[in-house]
Amino acid sequence: MERSGGVTASAVLVFIGSGLTLLLACFSALAFFTFRNTPAQPPFMRYVMVGVAILEIAFAVWGIFSGIGLLRLRGWARISMLVFSGILLFFTLPALLVIPLMPLPAPQGMPANFALFVKLFLVIFYAIPAAIGGWWLYFFNKRSVKDQFRNGATSAVEMTGAPARPLSITIVGWVLLVSGTIGLPFSFLRFPVLFGAFVLAGWHSFLYLLGWCAFQIVAGAGLLKLRRWAWILTVCGLSFGVANALISVLIPGRQARFDEAMSLVRIRMGLPEVQLAVPVNFYIWSGLVFGVLFVGVQLWFIVTRKKAFFAAHESPAQPAGM
């Protein structure tokens, strides 16, 4: 089947985005070499700039390979676009919902409507990738587009008799796998984390984050193979994530815990103490709502697709008398 114009346009858009991401990586690397010996620069920022550059290069390489796969109508490239669309929406939709509600006082000496223009710019900035991600999510799920990527090949179900993996499980598996892989090097930075009624810092934070990243990588790989143990592990892990977020925020003393965590972050980064323009509670509740919503959606898909995992390893019924 011939490649449609929409698939070609998507590939071109992916190549352009990957090129811009590589350009940003070059700027991040340039900033690292320019400011690494600056006395006023906190030592921690060197690691941040290196991490950002590596992350940008990884996304650019992912985009380039996905674009090539789209031009060749490879099935994995369509799945890759769906996963990337989900990531785009995850990072942009919460911002689109929060920015209009976020109190943003105008700096001294600026016009009264300065905050309005800043919010408008930010909404447009996040709306463009959100629209692209939403369109890709719809476009690459169309039957006519799916048929292009089948390319007349026999499906895995027909060749092996194994049940097909639901698309939602594929997306959740890849999201967990990518998130765990990206987060793994950042666990060594030992940022403080909230664990129920406690704030973990230092090596306690490192072990917690390392364990969470390991869970995501192992669970994501198991989901893509429809392993029963992966279903159980993912349900338990994501349920823990939701429960931990709710406990950390809803039990008394949340303000003190958040202030402690913010102070530890400031000390870790070598930054001076500053007064936030936006109330701290706004960040707390925004993070809770969207974090629980994101994990809850994944958990719902895993629970409702349980049959795919247990049917994947059921042997055919034996004839009577055998």
Q: What's the pLDDT at 109?
A: 66
Q: What's the pLDDT at 38?
A: 59
Q: What's the pLDDT at 220?
A: 92
Residue (of 103, 88, 45, 116) closest to 283 by Cα position:
103
Per-residue pLDDT, averaged over 291-301, amounts to 85
Residue (of 158, 150, 172, 138) closest to 296 by Cα position:
172
Residue 222, pLDDT > 90, answer yes
Q: What's the pLDDT at 161?
A: 46
Per-residue pLDDT, averaged over 195-207, amounts to 85
> pLDDT band at residue 159, thresholds of 50, 70 and 90?
very low
> pLDDT band at residue 314, thresholds of 50, 70 and 90?
low
Other CB atoms within a 10 A radius of the CB of residue 78 amount to 25
Q: How far apart are CA 214 and CA 197, in angstroms?
A: 23
- Spell 278-300 as b/e; 16+ CB within 10 A means b: eeeeeebebbbebbbebbeebbe
Question: Of all residues in the chain, what percent are helix, strand and coil, respectively (each to 5)?
Answer: 75, 0, 25
Q: What's the pLDDT at 152?
A: 40
Which one is predicted more confidently, 102 or 35?
Answer: 102
Is the pTM of the predicted complex or chain greater than 0.85? no
Q: What's the pLDDT at 210?
A: 92
Per-residue pLDDT, averaged over 39-46, amounts to 59
Residue % of the chain over a pLDDT of 90:
11
Q: What's the pLDDT at 174?
A: 83
Q: What's the pLDDT at 234?
A: 94
Per-residue pLDDT, averaged over 200-223, amounts to 91
Match 């974090």 to its residue by tokens. 291
Per-residue pLDDT, averaged over 272-301, amounts to 71
Amino acid symbol at 95: A
Q: What's the pLDDT at 156?
A: 42
Q: Is 77 left (phi over 0), alpha (psi -120 to 50) or beta?
A: alpha
- Contact between 147 and 99 under an 8 Å Cβ cutoff? The reply is no
